[in-house]
Amino acid sequence: MNTNNNSQLPLEIPIGDAISRIQFSPNSNNLLISSWDSNLRLYDVDASVLRVEVPSEAALLDCCFTDDDSVAYAAASDGFIRRYDMHSGVIDPMGSHDDMATCIGYSDETCLLVTSGFDKKLLSWDIRTKKSFSLSMTLDAEIDSMSLNGFKVTIGIGASAQVYDLRKFDKPNLSMEPCNGAQLRCVSSLPYAEGFAVGSVDGRVALQVSCSSNLNDTGYTFRCHPKLKDGQHHLASVNDIAFSPLVPGAFVTGDDEGYATIWDARSRKRLLEFPRYSNSVASLSYNHLGQLLAVASSYTYQEAKEIVEPPQVFIHKVDNIDLGSSSARRKT
């Protein structure tokens, strides 16, 4: 595959069910794909080769890398947290939640794996010991989304965003409703400052920045995904947000209507909107250099009238996009 062009991953065997998460490796252009079809896949984007496909015993609802390509983890519908050796394909169950495990993330600074589930628990696991979870916290409601950066974990519960310090992990450092009571669909930690962004079911994105060295605002909300339908604005749920490692302040959002859009956080202006995908945009991931953007087009089980087509993953080269311009334009 020539990554100089926008390309669809040529998967010889189609992904059999909804994609739950895509994530580039922290060190290479290997892409991890978890799916409701119970398979964890490792795709080498540079070589256009599916390196590993590991079947599991339950639907995979989230996945993450550690600090290299060789080890990955996934959260499953049977509650189990599993460790995957991506070289050998060996699976090692670490432990489980009391209900479906829904979110998972890794902190390189602490060597902690953090997971959540329908049991309303937030668990941390020390991957160096390979034992059961090291810390546990029971919350008032199920966690809908989660994002880790450094020593901080940000979670979305209903309309509330909460930030915890992994070194204390007893109570949130911050708890707020960034979208004025609207249900949150996704959270994403800022990679270049203390803060986070959230996306809501009514098409809004809110940014909260504690260290404003790179941004003028410390917190604001704007509607980024109102779509015209029958002459009226239709609000599409924001399913995922990913920040560019290449340009501080640039981020991409994906929605239920099948649109992925790159924004400038400083000006709150649209930089680029990709042509509409056939399914919802379920997950987004930049590679470690910020040159490539992976977009998972998949039904998400969020809407009753979703189009059920085979999930697809698209790779876009974005390092030649003029992200310094705040003028809105559409990629054709």
Contacts of 2 (CB under 8 A, 6+ apart): none
167-181 residue pLDDT tens? 888 889 899 999 888
Quick one: pLDDT band at residue 96, thresholds 50, 70, 90?
very high
Of 7-16, 67-76, 108-117, 266-275, the range with the lowest mean pLDDT is 7-16
- What are 300's two structure tokens? 């998400």
Average pLDDT, the chain: 86
Q: Which of 150, 155, 221 is nearest to 191 (CA)?
A: 150
Region 254-281: mean pLDDT is 90
Whole-angstrom distance, CA of residue 15 vs CA of residue 6: 20
Judge whether residue 132 has pLDDT over 70: no
Angle at 309 between CA 105 and CA 91, to 5 degrees: 35
